[in-house]
């Protein structure tokens, strides 16, 4: 008798199944992707968030391999954190592999992990699974989805995709293959929900090329284009257009420099050797022969574009006559930083062109028409929308209904929810561990609710620590009180308040109102009330009573 | 000889001239608006931000009056903070006055301030100024702009406006009057730049009514509409449509209840007495006879909608069959909170309708076509774009050029920049104080860079305080070290690290490596290095050495 097929979406944050999805049959499982999320604004001090792999750690030997769909951080970025405990072989296309190698090298894992190169022609056999990667278009080249043949039927994982007939790299998504899978019969489709709120068809990269072309035609000054360092196709578009307009290209920003180097070595970026110049040599060329491609689309404080906007970039000083193109959109949560950067660029006199003004960016994700087309090509029996926040999954689920899938065969689920497929149908299984594992410095998962709550409290009103030494026999004040405070009031202007607080502590100790054992608590409550009354702020209060 | 006319934009945050603009002639000045800004995400713990009025305080008696354009917080909200020091008469339309009175009452200022009611037919004489309010459409009724006749010429301040031929209250903006001012000759136009990035014409409120109508037609369950409490016209739209569909209306959320009460008393909202029901009585009616209007469009954690979304609202438990309409957009910076709320509403099974799905909200601000029309109607000699972030002012300035104003007559300026107008032309004057005054609890302006920096540091990696008592003669350790830490590591799981830190402190003190006077510094540096090495985090470190 066959075992049930089990599917489990996992993710480091908000979006469901964004960073990792498990496909499990009997004693074997594979994971699609192993990515990280950047922290939400209220995850104070957190560097990044990775998926919870407790379920895999509790079932050693279960996971046999990780297959990567493309080279973005939210799909490969958690590998250095998860591989040390679960050192399984990886499967990735050439460019994705190049990006992974950089990470594994940094983490000193390169020798320890088996890395298999695949193409969209590969057939991979892992335990009971026969897996065929298929080509899709996305905002990074060499992206694939996976067709996974299992004993219970065919699973299609779309990866992140859009259908672009005229992509920058000339390779449209493999619709024929998807249709063929549909003809064969698809058990379940796991499909990208990112743009489920957007009607229509995502515009082609061709639109961006056309907008660039226009801008290059009109512009006599320097042209600076900021885009994601991983958006190799966009960078290729810039190279092509710059070349046609006799402009040299300088590459600025560490990750941009690294990625361009790697992509050129692997042949994913082509540019004549003498066209790429060093940023230090910009002054050797007239303005109308210069183009610069750089990082900083999200307003990251240390990025090249933000340094330029703040007039702090060592090599590129912006001035009137410069044209800056922001070829990206703000990721939700980054709007304030991006807007600030745009304002500062305008303040320097640059002409700034961004998406609300001209179509200098298009999304890398399928909009509703393409999502519907994906459903119609693959005609799955079951549908699990993945890679989206909950509201997007719901909307994508409705598209599934529009495509004729009965509502009871559409599973809008949360991270950790197992769905089991067997001869009888599809059923919800158990919920496996699905927390958000927060990474802060070297700590993986040690910062949780308590630490975050304290950071939040400290960020609001700071703290006040009161230190006294009392006689261990008499309870009398021997030394102090010393008061330290940060983030509460500007201490230089608040000497009176602090002095008054000290006097209250002395009074409390001298009045004998406090028993020695309870001194700390009495000080805390009393000060807390006093300070709130005087400031309407609630600093954290820490009394330290040393008995000497 | 005539004096120069001086115009000074001020604002509490990002946007230029958003909250307050001074118009000054000789010894007299008036202010248009006196509003607050909500803090940006990195202004940790700050309640709100008000304009810097140092210039007015340095010139006592200069300001003669404040004229308000409409009743939104960013135009009237700073009055309670600024009037105590500068108790000048106020001029406002009836509804705006109603909203101001609530504030002045709370601040115990109502008896001390002269509040004058104006209409769009009023003519106000203040010193050398003759001022005519004119009616405009905005997302709150009773909004006006001001035509200010000065000895140097006519100044037009648009307030926040859009041109809506079919507004909810039936009163389009007074285009004839604007054209007449244009005929008379306008010296300078100060115009709303908020939507300078948006092409076309802002859709009419009629679009929202139509969308509501459709939704009410289709829906059998309860309908919950979240909108801004100040958007009285939107609330009237809801009342009208609910009435036609035989639904009772419950009003939920403190500010919504207060505003509805006040607006009904003043006649700005009309509803049959038996139509408005108490939220406690919802169970007395079938679902298809219920509509609820509530607060929470920005995902504010304690708002009615967010409590409903978290299933924590005492009186309204959402369930499948409910339809929730979010009739507003996220203010930049609030996206994460709004998205989280939408996701949670969907999780409860509600059908949620928001702007990306259907036109259930329109902006209250003029888009490019209306901005151009404003320029064409008033045909000003000079143009100062206000009420927008810097990039929007630049774009609005370009529209001014498109309308035929020479570039040298368009002043894209920052807060605090004085522009002077005299018989010779327009010239930049001095830059007056233009800081952001942060309000935190009772403190106005006491939280500045230092306190914010400390809050930022504390929010990232928390702090570690080390307390020891040493013998004042020998320098020997008498008691401690005690360590307090918050927001750094989860202390229960880090006992080893804390113990090790304590031992290091003991070693440092016992080894004699530390001179008594420098003990604190040595402890700080040593611990800082140790903790970074072990955790790659940088908590703030506070050593306290008591000599006993």
Residues A159, B39: Cα–Cα separation, whole Å = 39
- Which residues of A are less than 8 Å from B484 in CB distance? 465, 542, 544
**Beta carbons of B482 and A342 less than 8 Å apart:** no
Domain assignment present for residue B104? The answer is: yes
Task: Order the strands of the B290-294 sheet from edge to edge.
Answer: B276-277, B248-252, B290-294, B223-226, B323-326, B351-353
Tell me which chain B residues have a C-beta less than 8 angstroms from the C-beta of A539. Answer: none
Q: What are phi and psi of B183, to 5 degrees?
A: -65, -40
CB atoms within 10 A of CB B39: 20
Is A238 found in the same domain as A323?
Answer: yes
Q: Do A15 and A164 belong to one domain? A: yes
Report residue B514's pLDDT band, with 50, 70 and 90 as the boundaries: low
Burial class (CB in 10 A: 0-12, 13-18, 19+), B245: middle
Number of separate domains in chain B: 3
Task: Give the residue from A333, A486, A489 with the most B CB atoms within 10 Å of its CB, the best one to mutate.
Answer: A486
Residue B344 to chain A, least CA–CA distance (Å): 8
Size of interface A-B (CB pairs under 8 A): 206
Query: Residue A548 is nearest to which of B356, B441, B478, comparing CB atoms?
Result: B478
* Nearest CA among B182, B293, B173 for reference residue B229: B293
Choose the weakest-confidence range: A226-230, B49-53, B470-474.
Answer: B470-474
Q: Is the pLDDT of residue B254 over 80?
A: yes
Burial track B72-101 (b if 16+ CB lie within 10 A, e otherwise): bbbbbbbbbbbbeebebebbbbebbbbbbb
CB contact under 8 A, B442 and A534: yes
Tokens of B510: 């016992």
Phi and psi, residue B413, nearest 5°: -130, 170
The confidence band for A57, taking pLDDT boundaries of 50, 70 and 90, is very high
Residues of chain B in contact with residue A356, where contact means CB-CB under 8 angstroms, are 197-198
Q: Which of B353, B383, B405 is the last residue of a domain?
A: B353
pLDDT at A514: 57
Same domain, B20 and B69: yes
User: How close, in Å, is residue A461 to chain B by CA atoms?
Assistant: 6
Q: Is the pLDDT of residue A173 over 90?
A: yes
* Residue A403, domain CATH: 3.60.15.10
- Residues in A closer than 8 angstroms to B544, CB to CB, are 465, 467, 482, 484, 544
Alpha-carbon gap, residue B433 to B77, rounded angstroms? 20
Chain B residue numbers with beta carbons less than 8 Å from the beta carbon of A541 are: none
Edge-to-edge order in the sheet of strand B5-10: B115-117, B90-92, B63-67, B28-32, B20-25, B5-10, B417-422, B425-431
Proportion of chain B above pLDDT 90, given as a percent: 89
Contacts of A395 in chain B (CB under 8 A): 357
Per residue in B310-325, pLDDT tens?
999 999 999 999 999 9
User: Which chain A residue lies closest to B47 (C-alpha atoms)?
Assistant: A460
Q: How far is A19 from chain B (nearest CA, A)?
A: 19
pLDDT single digits (tens) A411-462: 999 999 999 999 999 999 999 999 889 999 999 999 999 999 999 999 999 9
Determine what percent of chain B is predicted with pLDDT higher than 70.
99
Nearest to B384 by CA among B155, B198, B223, B211: B155
Q: Which residues of A touch B198 (CB under 8 A)?
A: 356
Give the number of other Cβ atoms within 10 Å of residue B280's Cβ.
10
What are A176-200's pLDDT values in tens digits?
999 999 999 999 999 999 999 999 9
Which of A323, A353, A383 delimits the end of a domain? Answer: A353
Residues A67-101 pLDDT 10s: 999 999 999 999 999 999 999 999 999 999 999 99
Asked if the structure places residue A41 within a domain, the reply is yes
Pick A332 or B72 by higher pLDDT: B72
Determine the residue among A351, A444, A544, A545 to mutate to test chain B binding: the one whose Cβ has the most chain B Cβ atoms within 10 Å. Answer: A544
CA of B355: which chain A residue's CA is closest?
A197
Q: How high is the pLDDT of residue B497? A: 95
Does residue B213 lie within any of the structural domains? yes
Neighbouring CB atoms inside 10 A of B244's CB total: 11
SS3 label, residue B94: helix
Asked if B329 and B373 sit in the same domain, the reply is no
Inter-chain contact B391–A339, Cβ cutoff 8 Å? yes
Maximum distance among all Cα pairs of chain A, rounded to whole angstroms: 89
Nearest by Cα to A358 from A165, A200, A216, A196:
A216
Burial B467-500 (b: 16+ CB within 10 A, else e): bbbbeeeebebbbbbbbbbbbbbbbeebeebbee
Determine the distance in angstroms separating the CA of B452 from the nearest CA of chain A, rounded to an integer. 6
Last residue of a domain, one of A331, A353, A375: A353
Distances (CA, A) of A374 to A144, A174, A205, B180: 14, 11, 19, 58
Kind plus residue range of the DSSP H or E element containing A421: strand A417-422
On whether residue B331 sits in a domain, the answer given is yes
Which helix (H) or strand (E) covers residue A449, if one does?
helix A449-461
A512 located within any domain: yes
* HEC readout, A299-342: CCCCCHHHHHHCCCCCCCCCCCCCEEEECCCCCCCCHHHHHHHH
Residues on chain B touching A44 (C-beta within 8 angstroms): 459-460, 487
Cα–Cα dist A125/A148, whole Å: 10
B315 half-sphere exposure, CB direction, 13 A CA radius: 14
CB contact under 8 A, A45 and B390: no
The minimum CA-CA distance between B337 and chain A, rounded to whole Å, is 9
- Residue B168 has what pLDDT? 85
Continuous segment of H or E residues that includes residue A189: strand A186-192
Picking from A442, A457, A458, the residue whose alpha carbon sits closest to that of residue B537 is A442
pTM for this entry: 0.93
Do both B11 and B24 map to the same domain?
yes
Q: Provide the pLDDT for residue B5.
A: 98
> Distance (Å) from the C-alpha of residue B321 to the closest C-alpha of chain A?
15
> What is the pLDDT at residue B380?
98
If you average pLDDT over residues A113-139, what whole number do you get? Answer: 97
Q: How far is CA B272 from CA A18, A279, B226, B234, B283, in A?
A: 50, 71, 21, 17, 20
Question: Where on the phi/psi map is residue B91: left (φ > 0), alpha (ψ -120 to 50), or beta?
Answer: beta
> A460: nearest CA in chain B?
B45
Q: CA–CA separation, A165 vs A411, rounded Å?
A: 30
Torsion, Cα of A351, A352, A355, A356 (10° steps)? -70
CATH of residue A266: 3.40.50.10710
Query: What is the mean pLDDT of the segment spanning A117-123?
Result: 97
Task: Test A490 with B458 for CB contact under 8 angstroms.
Answer: no
Give the closest of B394, B457, B479 to A346, CB-based: B394
Contacts with B459 from chain A: Cβ below 8 Å: 44-45, 455-456, 458-459
What's the pLDDT score for residue B513?
A: 56
By Cβ distance, the residue of B389, B462, B479 closest to A454 is B462
Chain B environment of A40 (Cβ under 8 Å): 336
Tokens of A195: 């743009």
| Average pLDDT of the residues of chain B | 95
Question: Taking 70 as the threshold, does the pLDDT of residue A267 lie above it?
Answer: yes
Query: With an 8 Å Cβ cutoff, are A458 and B463 in contact?
Result: yes
User: Domain for residue A449, yes or no?
Assistant: no
Contact B44 A459 (CB under 8 A): yes
Q: Which two tokens stand for residue A389?
A: 């926040």
Mean pLDDT (whole number) for B327-354? 94
Omega within 30 of 0 (cis) for the link into A481: yes
Sign of the dihedral defined by the CA atoms of residues A74, A75, A77, A82, in that order: positive
How many residues does this entry show for chain A?
548
Confidence class for position A314, pLDDT limits 50, 70, 90? very high
The model's pLDDT over B111-123, given as tens digits with 9 standing for 90+, comes to 999 999 999 999 9
What pLDDT does residue A515 have? 65
Q: Is the pLDDT of residue B102 over 70?
A: yes
Q: Is B26 left (phi over 0), alpha (psi -120 to 50) or beta?
A: left
Looking at residues B41-60, what average pLDDT do you find?
A: 95
Chain A residues near residue B450 by CB distance under 8 angstroms: 490
The minimum CA-CA distance between B159 and chain A, rounded to whole Å, is: 22
In chain B, which residue's Cα lies nearest the Cα of A479? B548
User: Is B141 found in the same domain as B60?
Assistant: yes
* Token digits of residue A399: 């598209």
Are A546 and B467 within 8 A, CB to CB? yes
Give the separation between CA B231 and CA B328, rounded to whole angstroms.
10
Q: Are residues A82 and A176 in the same domain?
A: yes
Partner residue facing A493 (CB), from B446, B489, B542: B446
Instruction: Please give the Cα distance from A366 to A347 (Å, whole number).
Output: 36
Considering CB atoms only, which of B336, B394, B487 is closest to A332? B336
> Which strands sit side by side in the sheet containing A186-192, from one edge to the other?
A124-126, A129-136, A143-150, A153-157, A186-192, A380-386
The token duo for A270 is 């082509």
Contact across the interface for B333 and A332, Cβ inside 8 Å? no
Complete DSSP assignment for B431-478: E----EEEEETTEES---HHHHHHHHHHHHH-EEEEEEEE-TTT--EE
Residue B65 pLDDT exceeds 70: yes
- Whether the per-residue pLDDT at A513 is higher than 90: the answer is no
pLDDT at B511 (0 to 100): 77
Compute the nearest-CA separation of A455 from chain B (Å): 5
With beta carbons under 8 A apart, name residues in chain A contacting B451: 462, 487-490
Instruction: Tell whether A139 and A31 lie within a shared domain.
Output: yes
How far the first Cα of chain A sits from its last, in Å, is 75
Residue A306 and residue A384 share a domain: no
Q: Are A256 and A304 in contact (CB under 8 A)?
A: yes
Question: Tokens standing for A329?
Answer: 């959109």
B456 inside domain? no
Instruction: Find the mean pLDDT for residues A115-130.
Output: 97
The enclosing domain of B466 has a CATH number of 3.10.20.580
Contact indicator for A16, A191 with CB cutoff of 8 Å: no
User: Is the predicted pLDDT of residue B527 greater than 80, yes or no?
Assistant: yes
Q: Is the same domain home to A294 and A400?
A: no
Per the CB < 8 Å rule, is A451 touching B352? Answer: no
Residues in chain A with CB shorter than 8 Å from the CB of B461 are 45, 440-441
Q: Band of the pLDDT at B512, cuts 50, 70, 90?
A: low
Please indicate, yes or no, whether residues B232 and B310 belong to a single structural domain of this protein. Answer: yes
Q: What is the pLDDT of residues A236-263, one digit of tens each?
A: 999 999 999 999 999 999 999 999 999 9
* Residues of B in Cβ contact (< 8 Å) with A490: 446-448, 450-451
Contacts of A49 (CB under 8 A, 6+ apart): A12, A13, A36, A37, A38, A39, A43, A436, A437, A438, A439
CA-nearest residue to A334 within chain B is B333
How far out from the chain centre does Cα A195 lie? Answer: 16
Query: Which of B441, B470, B474 should we substitute to test contact with A (largest number of A Cβ atoms within 10 Å)?
Result: B441
Give the angle subtended at the CA of B544 by the CAs of B540 and B547, to the nearest 5°. Answer: 170
- Inter-chain contact A546–B542, Cβ cutoff 8 Å? no
Does residue B300 carry a pLDDT above 70? yes
SS3 B253: coil
For residue A331, the model assigns a pLDDT of 87
Residues 6+ apart with CB under 8 A from A519: A468, A470, A475, A508, A509, A543, A545
Chain B nearest CA to A482, separation (Å): 8
Residue B365 pLDDT exceeds 60: yes
% of chain A at pLDDT higher than 90: 88
The answer to whether residue A455 sits within a structural domain is: no
Nearest Cβ partner for B335 among A333, A447, A547: A333
> Structural domain of residue B540, as residue ranges?
462-547
Nearest to B465 among A333, A390, A484 (CB): A484
Best B467, B476, B524 residue to mutate vs chain A (most A CBs within 10 Å): B467
CB A205 within 8 A of CB A163: no
- With beta carbons under 8 A apart, name residues in chain B contacting A494: 446
Provide the 3-class DSSP secondary structure of residue B183.
helix
Candidates A264, A281, A288, A340; CA nearest to A316 is A281
Our CA-based measurement puts residue B480 at a distance from the nearest CA of chain A, in whole angstroms, of 7
Greatest CA separation found in chain B?
A: 89
Q: How far apart are CA B82 and CA B51, in angstroms?
A: 9
> Are B49 and B136 in the same domain?
yes
């Amino acid at each position: 008798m066959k075992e049930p097929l089990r599917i489990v979406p996992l993710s480091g944050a908000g979006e469901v199944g964004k960073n990792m999805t498990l496909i499990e049959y009997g004693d074997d499982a594979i994971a699609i992707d192993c990515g990280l999320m950047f922290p939400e604004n209220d995850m104070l001090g957190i560097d990044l968030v990775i998926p919870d792999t407790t379920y895999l750690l509790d079932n050693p030997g279960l996971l046999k391999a990780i297959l990567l769909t493309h080279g973005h951080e939210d799909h490969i970025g958690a590998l250095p954190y998860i591989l040390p405990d679960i050192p399984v072989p990886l499967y990735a296309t050439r460019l994705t592999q190049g990006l992974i190698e950089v990470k594994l090298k940094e983490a000193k894992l390169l020798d320890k992990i088996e890395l298999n190169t695949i193409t969209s022609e590969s057939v991979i056999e892992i335990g009971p699974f026969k897996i065929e990667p298929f080509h899709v278009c996305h905002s990074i080249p060499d992206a694939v989805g996976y067709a996974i043949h299992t004993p219970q039927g065919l699973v299609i994982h779309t990866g992140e995709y859009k259908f672009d007939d005229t992509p920058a790299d000339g390779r449209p998504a493999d619709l024929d293959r998807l249709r063929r899978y549909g003809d064969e019969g698809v058990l379940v489709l796991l499909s990208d929900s990112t743009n489920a709120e957007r009607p229509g068809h995502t515009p082609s990269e061709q639109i961006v090329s056309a907008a660039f072309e226009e801008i290059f035609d009109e512009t006599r000054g320097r042209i600076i284009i900021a885009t994601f360092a991983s958006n190799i196709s966009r960078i290729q578009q810039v190279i092509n257009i710059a070349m046609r307009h006799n402009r040299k290209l300088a590459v600025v920003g560490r990750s941009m420099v690294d990625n361009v180097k790697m992509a050129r070595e692997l042949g994913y970026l082509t540019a004549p050797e003498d066209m790429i110049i060093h940023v230090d040599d910009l002054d050797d060329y007239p303005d109308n022969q210069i183009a610069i491609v750089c990082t900083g689309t999200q307003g990251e404080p240390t990025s090249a574009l933000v340094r330029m906007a703040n007039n702090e970039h060592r090599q590129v000083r912006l001035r009137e006559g410069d044209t800056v193109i922001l070829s990206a959109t703000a990721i939700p949560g980054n709007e304030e930083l991006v807007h600030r950067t745009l304002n500062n660029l305008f303040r320097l006199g640059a002409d700034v062109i961004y998406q609300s003004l001209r179509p200098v960016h298009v999304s890398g994700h399928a909009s509703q028409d393409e999502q519907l087309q994906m459903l119609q090509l693959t005609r799955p029996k079951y549908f699990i929308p993945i890679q989206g926040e909950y509201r997007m999954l719901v909307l994508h689920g409705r598209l599934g209904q529009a495509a004729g899938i009965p509502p009871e065969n559409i599973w809008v689920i949360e991270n950790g929810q197992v769905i089991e497929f067997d001869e009888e149908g599809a059923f919800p299984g158990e919920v496996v561990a699905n927390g958000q594992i927060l990474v802060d410095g070297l700590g993986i998962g040690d910062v949780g609710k308590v630490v975050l709550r304290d950071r939040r409290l400290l960020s609001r009103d700071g703290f006040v620590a009161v230190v006294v030494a009392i006689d261990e026999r008499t309870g009398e004040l021997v030394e102090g009180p010393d008061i330290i405070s940060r983030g509460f009031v500007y201490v230089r202007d608040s000497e009176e308040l602090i002095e008054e607080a000290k006097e209250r502590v002395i009074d409390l100790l001298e009045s004998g109102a406090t028993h020695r054992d309870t001194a700390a608590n009495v000080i805390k409550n009393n000060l807390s009330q006093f300070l709130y009354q005087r400031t309407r702020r609630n600093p954290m209060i820490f009394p330290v009573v040393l008995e000497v």
